A and B are shown apart, each in its own frame.
Chain A
Amino acid sequence: MEFEKVVSFYKKAAEKGYQAFFSPAFEKINHFQDKTVVFFDRKGNFYALREDFTKSVVDYKKRLGLASVKVWYADYVYRYAMDELTAEYQLGLEKIPWRDSRDTLEVLEIIVSAAVEFFGNSLIVEISDTRVYEDLLKEVPQELHKTVLDLVDSKNLAEIEFLSRVRRLDLSRIEKIIEDSFYRREVEHLESLDVRPEVRERLKETAVFLKRHFPEVEVEIDLTLARTVEEYNGLIFIVYDSNTSKLVAAGGEYSSNGEIGVGGTIYLEGKTC
C-alpha cells in the first residue's frame, strides 16, 4: 500500500470538512445475527470483529446523540469467507444526514479522485439508483423481491422468464432493464431508459459531474446494479479497474438504523489473518 496516497485521501477529505473516525477493530454486540467472528469477555459481554464501517459510524452517531457526522476512516474490516478470515484495508467516507445530491457528488468526487491515484485512469464508474426497483417490484409479491433482485444482479434472463411464467407475473420491464444494461449504458441513452423523471435527472446530473471532473474515467449507467444490500435507497455507484477487472470502490445513499446517509469506500489490500 502506498502510504502517501492514503495521506492524500485524508487531505482531500479534510479539505471538505470530514473528520477522522477511529474505532476499535471489534465492537460490542447484543445478538449474533450474521456475525462470524465473536469474542466474549469475563462478564459475558459479546464482541464481533468489524465487518463494515457504515454501521460503526451510524452507531457512533446514535450513541453520542450527534445531530450530524461527516467522517473519513482508514482501517481494516474483517470477513469470513471460504473458511478463511480475511482483513481488507478500506478508505472511506460517511456523511449523515444526507441532505441532497450535493452530498453524494462530494463523496463521489473524493472517492473517484483517490481511486484514480491508487489505480490509474483505467476506471469505469457504474451508477444506478435503487428507486428504479421500487416501481418495478410493485406487482411482485414481497417474498420474491430478493429473488428477483438477485436475478437482476446476475443478469439471469432465463430464470426471470421462468419465474414470470410459473408465478404468472409480468416481469417484462425487468427483462428490458437487463438488456439495456448491455447496450444503453451511456448518458445519451438515459432518455430511453424506463425510469422516473427524477431518477433520470439524478443519474444525468451525476454522470455529467463525473465526466466533467474525471474526463479520463469512463462513466456508465447500469440499472442492474440492484445492490441487494437492503440499506441502499437512492443513487449508488461502483468503480471497476478495467485493467484488473476488480471492484475497487463502491458506495451510495442509504438508510441504516433510521439514519439517512451517504458513503463510499475504496477497497485496498486484503490479507489472510
Chain B
Amino acid sequence: MLRIAVPKGRLEEGIVNLLRKMGYELERVSDLVFKSQELVCFFVRPFDVPTYLVNGAADVGFCGTDVLIESQVSLIQPFFLPSGRSRMVLAGPRGKGIPTGEVRIATKFPNIARRYCESRGLSCRIIPLKGSVELGPISGLSDLIIDITETGRTLRENDLEVLDEIFEIRTHVVVNPVSYRTKRRVVLDFLSRLRRVLEDEGFQEPVQ
C-alpha cells in the first residue's frame, strides 16, 4: 500500500480532489488519515512532509519548494503541481535598498537566507523568527527580511518592497528515494495517474 503525506492547510483540499480524480476512493478514517484500497494518506504539517518521507513513514508526498530547500533533504521530485505565484523574496523598507556592511535579516527560513547571502556575497546576521517577519524592520530587529509573498499586499501594508526575488515557490510531488526503488512499479503507476489527471486538466508542461 502506498503511503502519501499530504500537507494540511491551503493545499489539502486540492490534493484530496486530485487523488479522487485519479480514481482512488478515499474514505476518512480520522481527521489525520484517509484510506482507499491502494493507498493511505496522512495529513501532516507542511514542514513535516520531508520528515515523513526521509524516515520512511511515507512513500510519496506534496511539498513546497520553500520547505524542500529549507529542510535540505534529498527527495526525488518528478514534477510539480500547478499552484499560485508565491515567491521567496528579499524585502526591505521602501526606497532604502540593501544597506552596506553587515545586514541583519529576519526570516523563518534561516538555511535559505544563509545560502542566498553566501551566493550574493552579502555579509549578514540571520535572525530566525517563527512568524510576523514583516515586523523585523519596523521594530528595528532587522534591516531586511526573507519571506514568502504572493500578492505583495502584506509587504506594502508594512511599507516594505521586494529587493530581490530568490525563487518561485511550487508544490512539488516528492518521492522517498528508497520507495522509488523498492516500490518502483506502484510509485510510477501513481505518478502516471497523477500526471494524466493534470494533463486532462490542461496542465501540459510542469517544468519550464
- Asked if A157 is at the interface (CB within 8 A of a chain B CB), the reply is yes
**Of residues 127 to 185 in A, which have CB atoms within 8 Å of B's CB atoms?**
154-159, 161-162, 165-167, 172, 175-176, 178-179, 182-183
Docked Cα-Cα span, A176 to B115, in Å, equals: 25
Q: B77 — which chain A residues lie within 8 A by C-beta? A: 155-158, 178
Q: 7 A-B residue contacts at CB 8 Å?
A: A154-B74, A157-B77, A158-B77, A166-B119, A178-B78, A182-B191, A242-B184
- Chain A residues in the interface with B (C-beta under 8 A): 154-159, 161-162, 165-167, 172, 175-176, 178-179, 182-183, 240, 242, 245-246
Inter-chain CA distance A154–B195, complex, in Å, is 20
B69, B166, B208: the one contacting A158 at CB < 8 Å is B69
B204–chain A nearest beta-carbon distance, Å: 12
Q: Which residues of B contact A183 (CB under 8 A)?
A: 192, 195
How many inter-chain contacts with C-beta < 8 Å in the A-B complex?
68
Residue of B nearest to A176 (CB): B207
Report the bound CA distance from A133 to B208 in whole Å.
19
Contact with A along B37-80 (1 / 0, CB 8 A): 00000000000000000000000000001001100001111111
Output the least CB separation between A220 and chain B (Å): 10
Question: Interface size for chain B: under 10, 10 to 19, 20 to 34, or 35 or more residues?
Answer: 20 to 34
Q: Is the interface of A mostly helix, strand, loop or mixed?
A: helix
- A157 close to B184 (CB less than 8 A): no
Q: Is the CB of A245 within 8 A of B75?
A: no
Instruction: Kindly state the separation between the CA atoms of A206 and B79 in the bound complex, as whole angstroms.
Output: 28
Contact A245 B182 (CB under 8 A): yes
Q: Is the CB of B65 within 8 A of A158?
A: yes
Q: A178-B77, A182-B79 are in contact. Are A166 and B206 (CB under 8 A)?
A: no
> A175 vs B75: C-alpha distance in the bound complex, in angstroms?
15
Give the CA-CA distance A178 to B177 in the complex, in Å. 14
Q: Which of A156, A162, A175, A242 contacts B207 (CB 8 A)?
A: A175
* Shortest distance from the beta carbon of A239 to any chain B beta carbon, whole Å: 13
Determine how close the nearest CB of chain A comes to the CB of B72; give it in whole angstroms.
9
In the complex, are the beta carbons of A167 and B207 less than 8 A apart?
Answer: no
Contact check: which of A154, A158, A175 meets B68 at CB < 8 Å?
Answer: A158
Check B188 for interface membership: any CB of A closer than 8 A. Answer: yes
Does B3 sit within 8 A of A, measured CB to CB?
Answer: no
Return the chain B residue nearest A166 by Cβ: B119
Q: How far is the CB of A165 from chain B (nearest CB, A)?
A: 4
A6 to chain B, nearest CB (A): 26
A161 near B192: Cβ-Cβ < 8 Å:
no
Q: Which residues of B contact A178 (CB under 8 A)?
A: 77-78, 207
Contacting pair A162 B167 (CB below 8 A): yes
In this complex, what residue of A is CB-closest to B165? A165
Asked if B166 contacts A166 (CB within 8 A), the reply is: yes
Least CB distance from A28 to B in Å reads: 37
Q: In whole angstroms, how far apart are the Cα atoms of A175 and B177 in the complex? A: 18
Q: B172's closest neighbor in chain A, by CB?
A: A158
Q: What 8 pairs between A and B have smallest CB-CB spacing?
A: A166-B119, A158-B68, A157-B77, A155-B76, A245-B181, A245-B182, A182-B78, A165-B167
